[in-house]
Each structure stands twice: as structure tokens, then as C-alpha cells.
Structure 1
Amino acid sequence: MHSTHTIALPNRSPLILGRTALVMGILNVTPDSFSDGGRHAGVELARAHARQMIAEGADILDIGGESTRPGAAPVGVQEELDRVMPVLDALRADGVDLPISIDTYKPLVADQAIQAGASIINDVHGLQGAPEMAEIAALHKVPVIAMHWQRAATEAASLAEAMQAYFTDSIAIAEAAGLQRDRLIADPGFGFGKSLAENYALLNDLTAACPPGMPILVGTSRKSMIGKLLGNQADERLAGTIATTVLGYLRGGHIFRVHDVRANRDALRVAEATLYGPPAQLG
């Protein structure tokens, strides 16, 4: 069921994506993110949270310095750099050796973060916001998580068709810059310009909306698609998040971007054992 991928990273072992799901821990160093705004802003708070997520089994850390929640104020390049660069420097000084993703749509922030040790770009505009982003990724030979966020109406008959067309454009932009398709990871963009019904239809048929053979990142953690359904607040959505994580895995997801690392990791291990059998050494 799960396609298998080996994605090269600069100066470290590659990402191996397939039956074993990878957990990406969210490290928001922002004052206004929808779920944890301000909780990890500042170097020491961010370091402590990074250590906690590593201890809980995170495979990747995703650092972001600008909130993309609805209504969030835009952040300038220098302000975003001032938020993320000290954290990156501190994590590398601490000897953190996990792959680090930089969650940004600004090429200059991505460039500086990669030079400071990040090895993945997580672009909510899917390389379609700034043409230089694909060039930065190609220059540094780093993979890109290309998220779907298509704000304008399209002529496509369905959301899946619109998403396929969007990702086709992202792939073309990448290849034109010299970034091969096998360095791209598709993020369906749960909650970004989609209705409640569309979010759940997308989760139910995940691979239909993503390019064939491309690895998939699932990012549903604590989102409003859970809150609207259950009538709860962001910090009450762990059970709902775990449900979406397991469903996303069973439908072909590879990487899971979450706030609560241990709970989602444990749920994924159970889902893996159910789908493919438990590890042989466990009997």
C-alpha cells in the first residue's frame, strides 16, 4: 500500500519513506500560531520543547517563524529570521542531529536556514509563491514539502482534479529550476482553502489528490477540521488528531506533522503492525 522513497539530504543520511511512518514534530517559534502561539517562542523555550519531542520519538523537527492561521499578520523577512535563526543555531550547538525542516515561503529565510543546518524546505505555497524558492532548493540540494493552497477558483470539476493540476505546476517549477521530482513531498494542505466536507473527503481518498508515486505528508494536528466536528478547542483535539493520523497512514501517508509526538508515534506503530504485521523480533 505504501510507496517507497529514498530522499537524499545534504550531509546526512537520507529519508527512507515507506511502511514505517515518520513523525515530524512542530516547533512554532511564533507568538500567534493557532494552537501553541507563544508557548515556545524564544530560544530556551524552543530548545526545551525540541528536546521533549526528540525524547518522544520525533524523526524530523519542523521550525516555523510565521503563523499561517487565518487572519494572522504577515511577518517580514528580518523578523522571521530573528525568530528562527537563533533557535537553529542553538539546536545545532546542542548537537541535535535530526533532520530539520524550515517552514517558510520566503526564499531568503530558507537560504539562511539551510546554511545554518536545516535540510528540508516546507513551503505552504508549493513553490508557487516565489520563483526563487525552487532555485534555492536546487542550489542546496534539499527536498521540498510542497503544500496545496490554491486560493483562486479553477475550472477543475473536483477538488482532486484541482489539486492534481496544482501539483503538476509545482513539479514543473521545480524541474525548471533543476530540482528533480524525486526531491518533492506532497502536502494536501488540510484546512487551507477547503471546506469541512472537502477536508474529510480528502482524508478518505488521500492518494487521489496527490501526484502518483510521490510521498505524502499529512498535517491535520489540532486543526479546525477536528474542532468544528467535535466542538472543541485546539488543546482538546488530541484524540481527533490521532484518528486522522491513523486514517492518513492507512490511506498511504508517509510523514505526519504533529504537535503531540509520543501519542501520534504510538498510534502509528499500532497502525503499522495492523497493516504489515509487528516486527519479527517481537514474536
Structure 2
Amino acid sequence: MIPAMTEKLDLQLLTDKKMNRKPGFAWRQLWNDVLPNRVFIAGIINVTPDSFSDGCGFIDTAERIQTALQMLDDGADIIDMGGESTRPGAAEVPAAEEWQRLEPVLKGILSQQPEAVISIDTRHAYTARLALQAGAKIINDVSGLDFDPAMAEVIASFHAGAILTHSTAVPELMQQSGMRIEKDALAVVRKELERIADHARAAGITDEQLMLDVGIGFGKSRQANYQLLHHAQWFESTFQLPFCWGVSRKSLLKSTPDSLEKRIAGSLALAVKLADAKVSLLRVHDVAATVAALTAAAEFDRAL
């Protein structure tokens, strides 16, 4: 973060504390607002021209808003939107540019659905603060608070929800040789998530605000990714915290020849398996298809 932006953010954090800006988000509160005993769905909106899943070289703000609104109609509990691609190899987007991408989409969604729960996928405290001021409720930091030293304080000062992810490096480097986890994935990721959770708590982020993410695809081998997924229930019970699981359209689903349709099919299969493991939250691109798959699986189970 550039010095001028850091100074501006420091002053704003002091103002936020004095005004006691606390939306008061708690995951338990969200769980209680809807039917219990089901997995929650976060619909992904990429406000980027270069996303691995749907990047098309430009950003159509109106289309992104309508897609988000349709996801809510299709059953998404949360909209998770990001203005910086976190695919392996992606370059950093400056915070000011990231917010310029996100602002019109965020405000457009909330103007039509004021009660929508919006999560902002960002590593930048500058972007997080502006998004929370504009009505977002959750910050999804794929760096696990490691990228921007001011991020934890921003989340704590707003009492916002936090999704904190394990990754081995920044997206530019995470899949390079020596950066990927090839073995002992459970032990390595558990240790790092314990560190991330302790960092969050020390900054004033409560367990009610906190959700963790093992970071499927963020610097892990294919085998390591599947090992982590196989132990999804173990992670949630061990940490006694909700977890977000993001497998939608990711490279661990890649086949030969590869296609979007095949990745969607694989995504739905893993969504059903994770729901059977009683995980807390699935982060998906294809909300309607995921809800349909989970509904059919639930009907099957009820008929037994």
C-alpha cells in the first residue's frame, strides 16, 4: 500500500472507532435468519476482465448487477464479489482501481436489494473500508490478513464478517515450484489456519465474526486439495468455526480435454459431497444448478 493511502486509512480508522461503526455481523445471526441444518450458498460475482471462470476482457456493470440479483432469486444467501482476480499467476490490481470496479456493482445491488448480504473479496484494507461503508457486511481476504497489515483493524472496527483463507503465497507466485503444498496438507494447513485465527482474535475480530477457508487451489497440489476436501467435516469440528469451501470450476476439476461444462459437473458433484459432510458455506459460480443438485440430494435422503 502506498504511504499516502496508508496515512489516509489510518485517519479513517480513528474516525470509524470514534463513531462506533459496527454493523454487528455474526455468522450465527445469518444462520438463524433462514432454515437450519443446510449448507449456505455464496454466489460469486467477478468484477474483473480476467477471471479464470468468466473473464471476457471487459466489465459490464449492468450485467454483473443483474447476475447478482438473479443469484439471490435462485437461492444464494450471500453475494461474494471481487474486483481483483486471484487465479494463480494473476497480477495485483491497485486498491483504487479495484474499488472503482466494485463500487457501482455493490451500490447497484443494494439499491435494488437493500437487505442483500454482500461479501467483498479483497486483500486491500482501503477497498474493504469503502465497501463496508457502502453496505457490505463481510470481507473475504484470500491472504488470511497477511497481505495488508491494516486489514484486521478495518474488519474489527466495523465488526464485519471475515472469511480468512490459507494460501502459500500471493497469486502471482502460489503455483510456482517450491510454493505448492505437495504433502502433509492437513498438518500444514491446520497450523497456518490456527495462526490466522489467532491473528484475527488478537486484532479484535471475534469468533462470531470469523469464518475460515482451507484455500482449495491456492498453492496446493491436486492430491493435497482432495485430501483437504475429504477432511472438510474434520476441519469444521476441530476449529469449532464455520468454514467456506470454494471448489467451483477450479483446476482440480480439470480433465482432458477440459471444458467449462465438465468443470460445472465436477463442481456440482463436490457440492453434494460437501453438503453431506455438513459444511457451513459453499462458494459457487452456478447458484441455480447448485441449489437444484443439493435439493435433489436432500429429497433423496429424506426418502430413506
Determine which of 259, 263, 287 is the counterpart of 1:261.
Answer: 287
Q: Which moved more, 1:230-239 or 1:79-88?
A: 230-239
| Normalised TM-score (structure 2) | 0.81
Specify every segment of 5 or more residues in structure 2 that has no aligned partner in the other structure, as ranges: 1-22, 170-177
Aligned residue pairs, count: 269
Map 1:70-85 → 2, pairs under 5 A:
70-85=88-103
Which has more strand, going by share of residues?
1
Structure 2 residue aligned with 1:35, among 25, 48, 53? 53
CA distance in 2, matches of 1:114, 1:235: 35
Would the aligned equivalents of 2:164 and 2:196 in 1 still touch at CA under 8 Å? yes
Equivalent of residue 88 in structure 1, options 88, 96, 106: 106
Aligned residue identity for 2:97: E
TM-score, normalised to structure 1's length?
0.86
Q: Which amino acid aligns with 1:238?
A: I
Q: Which residue type is aligned with residue 249 of structure 1?
A: A
CA deviation vs aligned residue, 1:220-260 (integer Å, no higher than 9, x gap): 001110014x6422354211100111111222311111111
Shift of residue 11 of structure 1? 10
List alignment gaps of at least 5 residues for structure 1. Answer: 1-7, 279-283
Alignment of 1:99-248 (within 5 A): 99-151=117-169, 158-209=184-235, 211-228=238-255, 231-248=257-274
C-alpha separation between the residues in 2 aligned to 1:242 and 1:208? Answer: 21
Counterparts of 2:194 and 2:26 in 1: how far apart (Å)? 29
Which secondary structure does the structure 2 equivalent of 1:25 belong to?
A: strand
User: RMSD of the TM alignment (CA)?
Assistant: 2.6
Q: Deviations over 1:6-28 (max 9, x none)?
A: xx854999211762111110010
Letter in 2 for 1:175: R
Q: Which position in structure 2 is the counterpart of 1:281?
A: none
Q: Paired residue for 1:51, among 66, 69, 73? A: 69
- The secondary structure found in structure 2 opposite 1:35 is coil
Aligned structure 1 segments of 4 or more residues deviating by more than 6 angstroms: 152-157
Structure 2 match to 1:15: 30
CA deviations on 1:174-218 (whole Å, 9 max, x unpaired) are 111111123211111111111111111111111344552111111
| Structure-2 residue corresponding to 1:24 | 42
Asked if 1 retains the 8 angstrom alpha-carbon contact of 2:28 and 2:208, the reply is no
Amino acid across the alignment from 2:252: M
Checking the alignment, whether the CA contact within 8 Å between 1:227 and 1:234 is kept in structure 2 is no
